[in-house]
Structure 1
Amino acid sequence: MGGSPFMESLRKELRTRHYSLRTEKCYMYWVRSLIRFNGMLHPEQMNNTHIELFLNHLALDKAVSPATQNLALCAIVFMYRHLLHRELVGLEYGYARAPRNLPTVLSPQEVQRILSVMQGQTRLITALLYGAGLRINEALRMRVKDINFFDHSLFVFRGKGSKDRYTLLPQGLHSDLQAQIQHAQYIHKADLAEGFGTTSVPPSLHRKYGNTLKDFSWQYVFPSVTRCRHPHDGYICRHHLHSSSYSKNLRTAVVQAQIGKRVTAHTFRHSFATRLLQQGTDIRTVQELLGHTDLRTTEIYTHVVGNRRAGTISPLDIIAMQEVREPDAPFTYQKQPLPI
């Protein structure tokens, strides 16, 4: 299926429109699933009923999340709109409304407990996620040239939505980052000695910069342990560390630290934003550091901070603070006579 002319045409269309490799894989997967569900029927011969049955199958039989339902529908709409040049009119299946869940955040003490059981690259990546508010792929894609020790800043190239931005570089990570850069340089020198040394980049950059991509400044701070063939252009390159490797180490650390919360790489980004707001950082500044286009996306963290950010105190706590009592005496609420 992956090598069929139709699927290769879909892949070409995705790359022509500069979709990320991750999105390409997702869209290809869901289109394949649609075709297999309908007995290998070609999408040109399908009608709305075939698509609706497939989406209902995902929701009812597979019990996928609303986000996964929407991703499958996006892939199908893309295929029909851009490859078959046909709009899905009258489809009795809209995008699922995902529940609005407040993000899980960690206290500084919980972050410290997790960091205390980590070592090496895993610890440094986690510290960057929490200290700079990075997404996991942004941390792994960081190159040597993106780090500015003098200004204490990190350059995030083509973050989510292909947006560039600057964020904080924690001063406490300078020595660890410099040690990691030396490790990356050792690997790069070995690659050059064997006739390689090119880093992986988007296709447009490879054509533009060519052999410049062998310069150390272009190398990933967290390089992969092996070289690979570039999925678009076919040249031998060294990619960055894969996120699955980090996720596995993170799960182990969370168990060892005895954290009773569901913790993912993104949890540290949530905790970064929440902590900044608790410290009184302007929400516009937090928006810029996180790279959010819409302020409403950042405002969800004000709900996590709650009354601590606004300085609001519970009326019950006010009574407790005003109550005059003996230091060791138990606290009691006294009924006051009503004014006449």
Structure 2
Amino acid sequence: MDVLIKSHDQNSLSVTFPCGFTTAMLNAVRSVPGRRWNDLKKAWILPDSGETVSALLANLLATGLFTYPETSGQPPGLSSCADDSTTVKNELSKVKTILKTRHYSERTQECYLGWLKSFFEHYDCNAQLGQKQINEFLTNLAVKSRVSASTQNQALAALLFYFRFVKNQNPVELSGVIHAKQSVRVPVVFSRSEVLDIIRHLSGDKQLAAEILYGTGIRLHEVLSLRILDIDFERNEITIRHGKGDKDRRVMLPRALVKKLKAHIENVRKIHQKDLDDGWGEVNLPGGLAQKTPEAARQFKWQWLFPQKNRWHNSETGREGRHHMDDSLLQRAVKNAILECGINKNASVHTFRHSFATHLLESGYDIRTVQELLGHSDVKTTMVYTHVLNRGPSGVVSPLDQM
């Protein structure tokens, strides 16, 4: 297990678990005052203070899963990957190179490398490794570390990648692995009236973002990553670029939002023009576009649909610019709206996506259409919403009601 602690901005730290996490690890972070979850970066954000760091380290050490590294000359931190030998570094370097050439996302690269570092803690990478070691490692995760099924699957994917593409082996006999218990949960869903009530308790950009979330079913980071050119009023479509799995897709543009979106875009245009007049107005460009056409950074079509309220300022270079709205602002606004509406469900921003899929199926749309709109690579993922196609427990008359 690893905990990665690094600077998030001038006043805060980010904490991630690249190798996956246990309930004890999660509770260790949750008990730190001032922590918040950043869904876009998939990281916990904590105040950057000595008191906070001390509390975090103490909580993590108390889980019994971590120790302070013994390497001298290093700042105190947490690590469960003690083997930093040249051989291990070379193996990890090979993995990283292949991951990049195969266009795996940075998050996947970080996750795979973290699991392999943990694997090499237990096994000498110079030895003959294969199915036996994979089975032992995965079984240990389920039995001793008590990780979730999804976390165990991440570890398996990392190990299979290493053996197939670095060692040119293809381990196939994994039947001896003790698998972590797979939890089956029904998605939390809003009723249509609850969606309307929540949206009415929001205002401004946050209300519009929430309407897009429910009206299209896209993810939180996808709505905040939208740029002006992604909105096509002629075709009534919204283009989602670099979605999960680095895939692009198109979703419908709700006609009810056309007028509101056009007015919003005109307001964004005024903000951008003011930034240009002040000598700024640039945004970060996707992929290699910055090298090919650097002038595009100042073009209106590449600006964020939901720019942050204030420009960021780099004190070293003097540069200023705007990123998109921080996901925590929308998360907090929706959470507050849910509370104000008196909705007693374990709901969040992501519940809009669950509600979108469920309401489409209730309206008679087929599962493949919903799968495509949600951007699921496997229809099995979408099948979780088919619980709405039968009457469920609400359609059964209780014997108590018949007395």
User: TM-score surpassing 0.5?
Assistant: yes
Q: 1:120 to 1:60 in 2, by over 3 A?
A: farther
Partner residue of 1:221 out of 305, 312, 316: 305
Mapped to 1, the partners of 2:128 and 2:334 lie a distance apart of 44
Secondary structure class of the residue paired with 2:244: coil
Secondary structure class of the residue paired with 1:167: strand
Question: Counterpart of 1:14?
Answer: 99
Question: Counterpart of 2:361?
Answer: 277
Deviation of 1:256 after TM superposition, in Å, equals 3.5
Deviation of 1:66 after TM superposition, in Å, equals 0.8
Q: 1:198 to 1:11 in 2, by over 3 A?
A: farther
Q: One-letter code of the match for 1:201?
A: P
Mapped to 2, the partners of 1:50 and 1:258 lie a distance apart of 52
Instruction: Work out whether 1:71 is the aligned partner of 2:181.
Output: no
Partner residue of 2:199 out of 101, 108, 115: 115
- Mapped contact 2:190–2:352 kept (Cα < 8 A): yes
Question: Counterpart of 2:111?
Answer: 26
Deviation of 1:108 after TM superposition, in Å, equals 1.2
Mapped to 2, the partners of 1:46 and 1:155 lie a distance apart of 48
Secondary structure class of the residue paired with 2:343: coil
Cα offsets for 1:214-273 (capped at 9, x unmatched): 3221222124566699xxxxxx98654454554344434433433222223332112112
Deviation of 1:292 after TM superposition, in Å, equals 4.2
Question: How many matched pairs?
Answer: 307
Q: 1:70 to 1:251 in 2, by over 3 A?
A: farther
Cα offsets for 1:106-165 (capped at 9, x unmatched): 101222233233334333222211111112232122111111234432122343344433
- Mapped contact 1:129–1:268 kept (Cα < 8 A): yes
Deviation of 1:201 after TM superposition, in Å, equals 0.7
Q: TM-score, normalised by structure 2?
A: 0.62
Instruction: Work out whether 1:80 is the aligned partner of 2:163.
Output: yes
Secondary structure class of the residue paired with 1:265: coil
Contiguous gaps of at least 5 residues in structure 1: 230-235, 318-330, 334-340
- Mapped contact 1:142–1:156 kept (Cα < 8 A): yes
Mapped to 2, the partners of 1:57 and 1:247 lie a distance apart of 36
Question: Counterpart of 2:295?
Answer: 211
Mapped to 1, the partners of 2:342 and 2:357 lie a distance apart of 23
Q: 1:291 to 1:90 in 2, by over 3 A?
A: closer
Q: TM-score, normalised by structure 1?
A: 0.71
Q: 1:117 to 1:194 in 2, by over 3 A?
A: same
Q: 1:88 to 1:244 in 2, by over 3 A?
A: farther
Mapped to 1, the partners of 2:292 and 2:193 lie a distance apart of 46
- Mapped contact 1:129–1:135 kept (Cα < 8 A): yes
- Mapped contact 1:73–1:95 kept (Cα < 8 A): no
Secondary structure class of the residue paired with 1:63: coil
Instruction: Work out whether 1:257 is the aligned partner of 2:352.
Output: no
Taking the TM superposition and a 5 Å limit, the aligned residue runs for 1:191-202 are 192=276, 193-194=278-279, 197-202=282-287
Q: 1:13 to 1:243 in 2, by over 3 A?
A: farther
Q: 1:63 to 1:314 in 2, by over 3 A?
A: closer
- Mapped contact 2:146–2:180 kept (Cα < 8 A): no
Q: One-letter code of the match for 1:29?
A: G
More displaced 10-residue stretch of structure 1: 62-71 or 238-247: 238-247
Name the Cα RMSD after superposition: 4.0
The answer to which structure has the higher helix fraction is 1
Instruction: Work out whether 1:301 is the aligned partner of 2:385.
Output: yes
Q: One-letter code of the match for 1:130?
A: Y
Question: Counterpart of 2:237?
Answer: 153
Mapped to 2, the partners of 1:153 and 1:214 lie a distance apart of 24
Q: One-letter code of the match for 1:12?
A: T
Partner residue of 1:128 out of 205, 212, 218: 212
Mapped to 2, the partners of 1:32 and 1:120 lie a distance apart of 46
Mapped to 2, the partners of 1:250 and 1:162 lie a distance apart of 27
Contiguous gaps of at least 5 residues in structure 2: 1-80, 315-319
Secondary structure class of the residue paired with 1:154: strand
Cα offsets for 1:167-220 (capped at 9, x unmatched): 2222333354345434544554466554561433124x4445443343221222
Deviation of 1:290 after TM superposition, in Å, equals 2.8
Question: Counterpart of 1:325?
Answer: none
- Mapped contact 2:335–2:349 kept (Cα < 8 A): no
- Mapped contact 1:200–1:238 kept (Cα < 8 A): no
